[in-house]
Structures are given as C-alpha cells and as structure tokens.
A and B are shown apart, each in its own frame.
Chain A
Amino acid sequence: GAGVSQSPSNKVTEKGKDVELRCDPISGHTALYWYRQRLGQGLEFLIYFQGNSAPDKSGLPSDRFSAERTGESVSTLTIQRTQQEDSAVYLCASSETVFLGTQYFGPGTRLLVL
C-alpha cells in the first residue's frame, strides 16, 4: 500500500509567520510520530499520537509548537511565529502500535525560515 506522505515537500517562510505541516500516515497505523532533524544532525523527537491522543507533549521545543491528529489519520504540526532556529527537516513516521512497533517514515518537509 501507500507509504507515509508529507506536504509540503519544501516550505520557505518569513520570520514571525505561522506554518502548518501535514502528515498522512499509512492506513490503519495507530501511532504517528513527529521528529525534527537539523542540518547534519540526528533526529529529535517532538511528539507522538496514539489514535488521536498525544500522551506526551514534553518533546515540543516551545509553546509555539502544537500538533493535532484527527480521524486517527492525518496529523498537522503547527509552528506559530516562526524563528530562524526552526529551520530544519520535519519528519513524520507511523507504526501499527506505539510500543515496540516499527516506524515507517515519510519524505519530510524542509522548512526554511528567513
């Protein structure tokens, strides 16, 4: 079946603007994850969803970041009042189960804040 998809592929925005990043997981996958990857770095965990609930939001870098998931499907990561340090690739992954599940990744959204 189809893999994880993300949109947009690339996003350029001005400092202070809000952005929305979208993730469509593999159909039937209960768990959905957001990670951030700064240039030349590893992946930094942001948040995960079990169904439509996010049990742990402590990975979000600041209160400018928020995420939601609806219909146990699509998820949106919103960054308000973007800053230059928000520039990164944002990766989404999904898995059948939250615990001990294999995560399959989307192609990511590259965000550049000018």
Chain B
Amino acid sequence: AQTVTQSQPEMSVQEAETVTLSCTYDTSESDYYLFWYKQPPSRQMILVIRQEAYKQQNATENRFSVNFQKAAKSFSLKISDSQLGDAAMYFCAFGGSQGNLIFGKGTKLSVKP
C-alpha cells in the first residue's frame, strides 16, 4: 500500500524568505502523480503544484517549486519570497492506480511579518 509521510508538523518562515517543506512516499508503482495542496483556515483545498513521475524536470508554479527525487521517493516543496498569504496547512498527496489520493498528515506553515 502507498504511504505519504510529512515529517514536519509545523514550520515557520520570515516574510520574503524561502522555506522548504518535506514529503516522502512509498510505492511500488512506476506511473503516478504527486501533488501539494494548500488548506487555509477557510478549509478549501487549493492545488499548489503537480508533478508527473515520468517527468525528470521539477515542476514550477511562480514562487512554488518542487524537488522531485524519484529514486529516493522524495517530493519537497520550496516556497520562495514567502508572503503572509502563504500561511496555511500544506498537504502532500500521492495519486496512482487506485484512483483516490493518499495524503500526508500535513505541515502547518506560519509566516512572520
């Protein structure tokens, strides 16, 4: 069975600085997607970024980028130039052949002004 582990329950970053959130996963599948979702207090799950496992190039969306290490089964999220609006829970998720997403327990990110 697939598992997703986020080892940092909480993280803090100074406004305008860079922070990296960690995620590891376990799977025997070769074709899958990985996602980072953001959940602010409004509880709406917002897609931040997506990475296809077959792509070697790391995905980037504006200030958000990932470091995808397929052999190590690692998928970290880097947030550059952190803004107050980035404060939220961040969930790493695995999507494979089973259809549903497998989520980690989340990392609570605080941004200090």
Contact = CB atoms under 8 A, between A and B. Distances in A.
Contact of B47 (A42, A56, A104): A104
A98 interface: yes
Interface size class of B (residues with CB under 8 A): 20 to 34
Interface stretch (A21-29, A70-78, A79-87, A105-113): A105-113
B97 A99 contact: yes
B31 A102 contact: no
Contacts of A89: 43
Contacts of B96: 100
A45 B101 contact: yes
A33 B33 CA distance: 17
A31 B91 contact: no
B43 A103 contact: no
Q: Of B44, B45, B95, which is in contact with the most chain A CB atoms at under 10 Å from its CB?
A: B45
B35 A108 contact: no
Contacts of B95: 100-101, 103
A48 B32 CA distance: 18
B99 interface: yes
B43 A43 contact: no
Contact of B44 (A42, A50, A55, A108): A108
B68 interface: no
A42 B43 contact: no
A107 B42 contact: yes
A77 B103 CA distance: 21
A113 to B, nearest CB: 18
Interface in B25-78: 31-33, 35, 37, 42-47, 50, 52
Interface string B88-100: 0001000111011
B91 A42 contact: yes
